[in-house]
């Protein structure tokens, strides 16, 4: 199991990026959360096996149909053992 902190920049708010991210995470068995950031980016904490996370990161670089992803930054972090994948409404 691995943990990634992922920041997605571009036109990624108001295009169902968070809802689509949850759907993809659920399909791949990735756990964690996604939330919009005040600067217009999307922040994701994702945990899963190496193969699932690799596919998840590939999807993050594309996003849903109307998204325009400019960059995806991912940093490996400490496992938090999330039980599911959630869409958070506000920054913590």
Q: What is the pLDDT of residues 74-87, one digit of tens each?
A: 999 999 999 999 99
Query: Residues near 18 by Cβ (< 8 Å), separated by ≥ 6?
Result: 34, 35, 36, 42, 87
CATH architecture of 2-79: 2-Layer Sandwich (3.30)
Confirm whether 89 is a catalytic residue.
Answer: no
Q: Which of 35, 36, 73, 92 is catalytic?
A: 36
pLDDT confidence band for 67 (50 / 70 / 90): very high
Confirm whether 92 is a catalytic residue.
Answer: no
User: What is this structure's pTM?
Assistant: 0.95
Domain positions in the chain are: 2-79
Q: What is the pLDDT of residues 9-63, one digit of tens each?
A: 999 999 999 999 999 999 999 999 999 999 999 999 999 999 999 999 999 999 9
Spatial separation of the C-alpha atoms in residues 13 and 41, rounded to whole Å: 7
């Amino acid at each position: 199991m691995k943990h990634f902190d992922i920041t997605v920049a571009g036109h990624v708010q108001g295009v169902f990026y968070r809802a689509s991210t949850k759907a993809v995470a659920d399909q791949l068995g990735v756990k964690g959360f996604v939330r919009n950031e005040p600067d217009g980016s999307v922040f994701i904490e994702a945990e899963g096996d190496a193969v699932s996370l690799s596919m998840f990161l590939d999807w993050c670089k594309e996003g849903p149909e109307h998204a325009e992803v400019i960059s995806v930054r991912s940093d490996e972090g400490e496992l938090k053992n999330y039980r599911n994948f959630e869409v958070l409404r506000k920054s913590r």
